[in-house]
Amino acid sequence: MIITKAGRRMFPAMRVKISGLDPHQQYYIAMDIVPVDNKRYRYVYHSSKWMVAGNADSPVPPRVYIHPDSPASGETWMRQVISFDKLKLTNNELDDQGHIILHSMHKYQPRVHVIRKDCGDDLSPIKPVPSGEGVKAFSFPETVFTTVTAYQNQQITRLKIDRNPFAKGFRDSGRNRMGLEALVESYAFWRPSLRTLTFEDIPGIPKQECRDLKTDYIFPKLDNLVCRQTKLS
């Protein structure tokens, strides 16, 4: 994922569906992004692989993206697809825009947090998400990504250009379309567009309903990861 000083959106954006909440209870929904491991990576061009290049840089200030619809009732949250498209990433450790601060060339994983309103007193954009009763975190293996300041991998660049409306200006209309389609197809998880994963109980919430967290519009290992290296172009 591209990170810049000014802040850059993620593409694709994380989108999520939640069920199993108490319809009449108020919740905050938030996202943070945590390191996958303690390593720094570099992209080895000739082998088309990300390889360990030492230990991770020193930790960055904690940041939390609180979904702008927060707080809202369980009913409201469950009725919609919850999109994190306004979340921005930065590599500026002195950022004062409330963006999520990350190191380049590291691997990260977004986490979705569901926080009962009465347990959210400590929730802040610049403090770690509180844990305990009434707070639950979810993460998805297919949303791991690697941060970069410039793409390392032509397939990913093509994928971004072809799927992101804001990059339309870089498409070579028509030509190479087949290559792209094939690339997309090579990710089994790209379809179907709506997945369902288990949503474990939130402490303090009635347990009788099934609890699912659905991610719609996959956000897979899309970004400069070796598994994206296919035989295409």
Partner DNA sequence: GGCTTTACACCTAGGTGCGAACTT
Partner DNA sequence: AAGTTCGCACCTAGGTGTAAAGCC
Residues that bind DNA (CB under 7 A): 2, 4-5, 8-9, 11, 42-43, 53, 91-92, 104-105, 148-152, 157, 160-161, 164-170
Q: How far is the CB of 10 from DNA (least distance, A)?
A: 8
Q: How far is the CB of 158 from DNA (least distance, A)?
A: 8
Tokens of 24: 């009449």
Q: What are phi and psi of 89, to 5 degrees?
A: -110, 145
Distances (CA, A) of 113 to 22, 39, 138, 160, 198: 15, 25, 6, 27, 14
**Considering beta carbons, is residue 73 or 83 the nearer one to DNA?**
83
Q: How far is the CB of 150 from DNA (least distance, A)?
A: 4
Degrees to nearest 5, angle at CA 76 with 66 and 99: 15
Q: How far is the CB of 28 from DNA (least distance, A)?
A: 22
Q: Give start and end residues of each alpha helix (H) in the chain.
A: 74-79, 154-163, 177-185
**Considering beta carbons, is residue 160 or 228 the nearer one to DNA?**
160
Kindly tell me the number of DSSP H helices and DSSP E strands found in the chain: 3, 15
**Considering beta carbons, is residue 165 or 174 the nearer one to DNA?**
165
**Considering beta carbons, is residue 24 or 175 the nearer one to DNA?**
175
Q: How far is the CB of 90 from DNA (least distance, A)?
A: 9
**Considering beta carbons, is residue 9 or 211 the nearer one to DNA?**
9
Task: Give the residue from 30, 91, 97, 36 showing the smallest Cα distance to 65.
Answer: 30
Distance spanning both ends of the chain, measured CA to CA: 21
Whole-number Å distance between alpha carbons of 13 and 20: 23
Q: What SS3 state is found at 51? A: strand
Q: How far is the CB of 22 from DNA (least distance, A)?
A: 32
**Considering beta carbons, is residue 167 or 178 the nearer one to DNA?**
167
